[in-house]
Structure 1
Amino acid sequence: MLADKRILLIVAGSVAAYKALELTRLLRKAGARVIPVLTAGGARFVTPHALQAIAGEAVHQELWSLAGEAEIGHIRLARLPDLVAVVPASADMLARMAHGLADDLATTLLLATDRPVLVAPAMNWAMWAHPATRANMAALAARGVAVVGPGEGAMAEAESGPGRLAEPPEILDAIAALLGAAAQPLAGRHVLVTSGPTHEPIDPVRYIANRSSGRQGHAIAAALAALGARVTLVAGPVTIADPAGVRVVRVESAREMLAACEAALPADAAVCAAAVADWRAALAAGQKLKKVPGEAPPPLALALNPDILATLSAHARRPRLVVGFAAETENVVANAVAKRQRKGCDWIVANDVSGDVMGGAENAVHLVTEGGVEDWPRLPKEEVARRLAARLAEALAGESPA
């Protein structure tokens, strides 16, 4: 997949630096040559001996090394690779990159290179959310620096949130995609994905919704794009970042989501991962409903929302493959099997949401198809997305594009 590609891997200071060793192994397995650069901070978490042993290359650490400059020189080192990857990219490293500092070997190489640069951020969630980090990321994006992750999950400080380093296979895919060396089985395909909740207004300040973060749907959109698909992501109100390389259409309500989906047709496949509210207020109030002392709450009459999955499954411009999701709290597989028949879709991805799945970092799903039920183990949502995208590519192989 990456045969003969040269990757300059900069390992910065973060607890997650140990994952750079696994990434190095995966890169070499894919046929790439890894040229490791270890910062002073990175050396506090992984040793140069371990990195050198796995990379099979000398580790570069010092800007002022006489031996290193005599043998190769930092300018030549900056031009040697096909791509520069900063894994992990700490908050400090991102700040130094954004401000063009060049006070050590790593930042000097980043300033001197004319090759594509990919960063994989890793830091505490509060540091990732800080306006300074957001501004630094925006500056780097404006200069064409690619980013993978971060994910969300447990951290070294016994906290949890966004800022967790992307998993090595995800970083490998991002490197391959950036170099144009990844397999593109979905090239020329258009895939529609829905993600997140819908908000159904009761009045101008209240709404009916589901507890969806959009993380699984967004991960699916990203995985499909990594396989070469042209992806239209119809997203309800979420707080997570848009996937790279994906066209995003933002909506609020179920009716808006259906209209956006129909406008996106034709498509080769549709993956309906959004947690659409089943009901809406029959008549949303134009002003905030007031609580009146001594009076009962105002009655809330509900109306059914449009069924997006069923509508797409029976549509005159039906996608070749329609995939729905079933969020269940009991009888997960039985309910999903019945839902697939009732909705007329091809596949259902079923999961038990009675625990921490909604908003969480992992998912355990059952893939229900005409041929039966596949039980997948509990996996990071990004890995669930990659598996589903790969299955979708297999199903569409040999079919004419829409």
Structure 2
Amino acid sequence: MTNALMEDLKWRGLLYQQTDEKGLEELLSNEKISLYCGVDPTADSMHIGHIVPLLTLRRFQNHGHRPMLLVGGATGMIGDPSGRSEERILQTTDQIDDNVVGITKQMERIFDFNAENGAKMVNNNDWIGSLSIIEFLRDYGKLLGVNYMLAKDNVASRLEDGISFTEFSYMLIQAIDFNHLYNNYGCRVQIGGSDQWGNITTGLEIIRKTHEEETKAFGITIPLVTKADGTKFGKSAGGAVWLDAKKTSPYEFYQFWINTADADVIKYMKIFTFIEREEIEALEVSVQEEPHLRIGQKTLAEEMTRLVHGQEALDQAIRISQALFSGDLKTLSADEMRDAFKDVPSSEMAKEDKNIVDFIVEAGISSSKRQGREDVKNGAISLNGERVTDTAYEVSAEDRLEDQFTIVRRGRRNYSMVKFV
């Protein structure tokens, strides 16, 4: 009998490789287990590419299993060679500690820590950090042959350009993690991205070699998420889409999902949201038959923004979006305007009163004074959402939000930010 959870994961396209598909389905059908996913704190925030394995882990929790969240305080000091063509820049202990704090907060938004099968956070520095080099080499280094390690894709792909012993040893250190969680928490499964297959199977090898009894541990990897055109997923015009609101604001985060192509929206809904199959299939019909309504994109954006940033941040993102669509900026606060217009063309100007025509010409909004006068008279110019039609109007301190900037709109959709220095 097919396990309902595994069937759902297959339907969502979340299964790439499994070490023992039949054995895992049998295990999940007969008992509730602990399983884990690890994240190295290489930055103080995760981005959306990081969370697919974590969201998959949350699906296991929704089916009664216990998720274990490993933050790599130790492995983050080493650097995973997987998917990289060059060595990582090593971070300081203080940087790693700060990054752990940031990532932990983001984990707490995704998982339920208070349920009977509540998520558990662990940091591998708690057991790796106290391991001496002699213990590491005697107790674990002897368990793997160099040829075995060289055959792993994450190492083999780096041999031509070179790999340090530090990064070469990474897979063994991560394998110690799986073994430790298996021994101390009964952890039976590790989940990771497709680039983690070599690390996961090495963990299973260490478990096998350090136990006399028959071991029953498993590994799962998640496919790399791509766009319909085959390009890399997870980048916006401003770079990576971060979970930290200071790096990618909730409005920007919301807009990223709103701008999903029709060809991708159902695929992403399956991968990233917890919406049930029936509702997704109904939304798929809407995307096909009435794509202009963009109901799929709106649903995806709302689900993801609520999950990562909460309902209040989602409400704010929707309010900004509606204000921009209608052109009614008066409903927005100065902070919301700054957030909404951070990527529009900008110019700098001295803090002094200035005639509206001179103001928009100096800011490069109108090409000449003649054009500027026409734009003002025709009602094409608005300051912070207020239309200006008088060519004698003086732009003053009252038009400067927080005495720092003014949002100028020319026509229906051409926005600029004038910053005052």
Is the helix fraction higher in 1 or 2? Answer: 2
TM-score exceeds 0.5: no
Q: TM-score, normalised by structure 2?
A: 0.29
